[in-house]
Amino acid sequence: MRIAISTGGGDAPGLNAVIRAAVLSARNRGWDVLGSKRGYAGLLGDDDVVPLTGESVRGIMAHGGTILRTTNRGSPFAYPVRNADGSWSEVDRSDEIMENARNLGIDALISIGGDGSLAIAQRLVDKGMRIVGVPKTIDNDVSGTVMTFGFDTAVNTAIEAIDKLHTTAESHDRVMVLEVMGRDAGFIALYAGIAGTADVILVPEIPWAMEKVCEKIRARDAAGRRFSIVVVAEGVTMPSGDVGVMGESLPGQMKRVGGVADTIAREIQERTGKETRSLVLGHLQRGGSPTGYDRLLATRFGGAAVEAVAAKKWGHMVALQSPHIVTIPIVEVLKESKRVEPDHDVVRTARAVGISFGD
């Protein structure tokens, strides 16, 4: 048996732990393991395909990033090509990847990625490739799994930032607006906001109004709490319909979001007269050593992915359905994305302890 492993999309702390667990489990079964570098680029011949052994994964558990590297613009169905004049085209190289995988003697692929990568994996499964998926995103927005690895580390990074913002906000009687990641889902903002004791949390799933945010800040002021912490998910839409835009995206890449915190901070300052500052935490949330929770979850996913390959669960994704790791069809996962439920007990509890969602 010869399997390959690839990591696609944005990195997440814990990717190396998945690779390590999958490699060690597979090697202990006597299987050969290959790693496709930079997503599918390795399998397409644009990067390396390397043998993975116990030696290759030694000491990587605690490391962020991915030893296989990654890309969020390498779909074999729309592969970006830069033309001589600097413009970009997209070509379908999916037949090529099928052929290369056959030539390399690859029996199955473990594809580790978010919903974009899982959608690509499903299209390759439809073409006959034997794939088992492993969900990955710090945003925690893949459905079918209670949790994705990387999320806990990102939340802890955000909490640390909120703790630090508290002391400076309090010293200056300021409002601090912290923007955390979460393109479509507000899980990082919600969890970090509660654990970091934010006063206002804004998430894409709950419509909000600027005046409600300001009311909360004024009420705190009147009660002698002269500073406030607002945590906002980058994917939040302004009540006017505007979204944050952060730089240009490249062809084959999702539109970049971010920067909404600054707009919110300006309006808060204008309406309340309180000095307000904003901070975009950005990719700090994607880096660093995974937490114990993420190391364990990632290791369980890696081990379960090898079990799923052994059981020929092609087109399935491993998932946490507490307390067990299960496998579910990727097509089911792709039917809907996971979002913060506005009536979830976590949101209700946040409201109960006095956090405003600006609504």
Size, binding site for ligand F6P by CB under 6 A: 13
Token reading at 341:
């439920």
Select from 4, 18, 11 the least CA-distant residue to 98.
4
Select from 10, 13, 21, 11 the least CA-distant residue to 318.
21
Contacts with ligand F6P in 21-60 (CB under 6 A)? Answer: none
Select from 281, 293, 322, 15 the least CA-distant residue to 153.
293
Which CB sits closer to ligand F6P, 96 or 160? 160
Contacts with ligand F6P in 275-304 (CB under 6 A)? Answer: 286
Residue from 7, 8, 10, 308 touching ligand F6P (CB under 6 A): that is 10
CB of 359 to ligand F6P, least distance (A): 23
Q: Which residues contact 180 (CB under 8 A, 6 or more apart)?
A: 154, 158, 188, 189, 192, 231, 232, 233, 234, 281, 285
Contacts with ligand F6P in 233-272 (CB under 6 A)? Answer: 234, 256-257
Tell me the one-letter amino acid at 138: I
Note if 345 is an active site residue. no
Phi first, then psi: give them for residue 146, nearest 5 degrees. -60, -35
Tell me the one-letter amino acid at 298: A
Q: Point out which span in 57-65, 175-183, 261-269, 301-309 binds ligand F6P (CB under 6 A).
A: 175-183
182 part of the interface to ligand F6P, by CB under 6 A: yes
Query: To which H or E segment does residue 50 belong?
Result: strand 49-51
Which CB sits closer to ligand F6P, 69 or 220? 69
Which CB sits closer to ligand F6P, 137 or 153? 137
Distance CA 10, CA 65 (A): 9
CB of 190 to ligand F6P, least distance (A): 14
Which CB sits closer to ligand F6P, 133 or 303? 133
183 part of the interface to ligand F6P, by CB under 6 A: yes
Which CB sits closer to ligand F6P, 72 or 111? 72
139 part of the interface to ligand F6P, by CB under 6 A: yes
DSSP assignment string, 284-353 = GGG-SPPPHHHHHHHHHHHHHHHHHHHTT-TTEEEEEETTEEEEEEHHHHHH------TTSHHHHHHHHT
181 part of the interface to ligand F6P, by CB under 6 A: yes
Which CB sits closer to ligand F6P, 11 or 47? 11
- Whose structure tokens read 């580390």? 153
CB of 358 to ligand F6P, least distance (A): 20
Q: Which residues contact 213 (CB under 8 A, 6 or more apart)?
A: 200, 202, 230, 264, 268, 356, 358
Residue from 24, 106, 112, 138 touching ligand F6P (CB under 6 A): that is 138
Select from 251, 296, 204 the least CA-distant residue to 80.
251
Distance CA 313, CA 91 (A): 30
Q: Point out which span in 46-54, 134-142, 211-219, 337-345 binds ligand F6P (CB under 6 A).
A: 134-142
178 part of the interface to ligand F6P, by CB under 6 A: no
319 part of the interface to ligand F6P, by CB under 6 A: no
CB of 192 to ligand F6P, least distance (A): 13
| Residue 205 and residue 185 in contact, taking contact as beta carbons nearer than 8 Å | yes
Which residue sits closest to ligand F6P, CB atoms considered?
181
CB of 11 to ligand F6P, least distance (A): 8
Exactly one of 139, 152, 199, 294 is catalytic; name it. 139
Distance CA 200, CA 355 (A): 6
Q: Point out which span in 39-47, 181-189, 307-315, 343-351 binds ligand F6P (CB under 6 A).
A: 181-189
Active site residues: 139
Binding site for ligand F6P (CB under 6 A): 10, 72, 114, 137-139, 181-183, 234, 256-257, 286
